[in-house]
Amino acid sequence: NAGVTQTPKFRILKIGQSMTLQCTQDMNHNYMYWYRQDPGMGLKLIYYSVGAGITDKGEVPNGYNVSRSTTEDFPLRLELAAPSQTSVYFCASSYYQRYEQYFGPGTRLTVT
Amino acid sequence: GIQVEQSPPDLILQEGANSTLRCNFSDSVNNLQWFHQNPWGQLINLFYIPSGTKQNGRLSATTVATERYSLLYISSSQTTDSGVYFCAAPEETSGSRLTFGEGTQLTVNP
């Protein structure tokens, strides 16, 4: 199993541009999550999904959108990028609620 | 929501030393996870430990859920143990999103 994979690893965006961060898991997990990590901090939840077609907001959803059309994929869309979105983005998955979460390698995003 | 506090915030050790990292949480939890974030930024799962004690090589963890704390023990530390150690506890809402502590920055010197 590859586990949780994310692309790209790094990206630099100009203010106002848009992009999609990709996340795929091959563990047949129901729950998927997007977190962001700002320098020197722990992770904060952006959005999560409990299954295909079902998504909900986390702590810091503004400026982001998600979709979940399959069990495996959970892309995160940034519209109109702002410098405040400079961060490292982690995707995670778990089999079910309260089960162990597994994290991808992260995407380092800089908005200038 | 749940509050998670870690101590100490920073720890510097000589190779071969032992250490204990602490994680306090404000509410009862159904599980707790410990992670190691290595210098390349990867988050590595160390333990999933709702209660009791688990061991994995030189690392072990104990969670006392009734007293709302967890401890991570590192024995015979190595330079590769350097990085940030996070504990995280799930919220009952938000799909059990993990609330992370602010981490313990561990530096192991040769």
Among residues A26, A90, A30, which one has the least CA distance to residue A58?
A90
Among residues B89, B88, B43, which one has the least CA distance to residue A89?
B43
Question: Does the beta carbon of B51 lie under 8 angstroms from any beta carbon of chain A?
Answer: no
What is the average per-residue pLDDT within B56-77?
Answer: 96
Among residues A89, A67, A73, which one has the least CA distance to residue A25?
A73
- What pLDDT score does A105 carry? 96
Question: Does the beta carbon of B34 lie under 8 angstroms from any beta carbon of chain A?
Answer: no
> Pseudo-torsion of CA B50, B54, B56, B60, nearest 10°?
90
pLDDT-derived band at A108 (thresholds 50, 70, 90) equals very high
pLDDT-derived band at B31 (thresholds 50, 70, 90) equals confident
Tokens of B53: 């004690």
- What pLDDT score does B95 carry? 63
What is the average per-residue pLDDT within A4-33?
Answer: 97
Q: How many CB pairs under 8 A join A and B?
A: 63
Tokens of A51: 């299954």
| Residue A10 with chain B: CB contacts under 8 Å | none
Q: Which residues contact A105 (CB under 8 A, 6 or more apart)?
A: A5, A6, A9, B41, B42
Q: Which residues contact A20 (CB under 8 A, 6 or more apart)?
A: A75, A76, A77, A78
pLDDT-derived band at B94 (thresholds 50, 70, 90) equals low
Contact (CB<8Å) B90/A31: no
| pLDDT tens, position by position, A36-50 | 999 888 899 999 999
Q: Which of A45, A49, A100 sits opposite B48 (nearest CB)?
A: A100
Question: Does the beta carbon of A1 lie under 8 angstroms from any beta carbon of chain B?
Answer: no
Q: Is B30 exposed, middle or buried (0-12, 13-18, 19+ CB in 10 A)?
A: middle
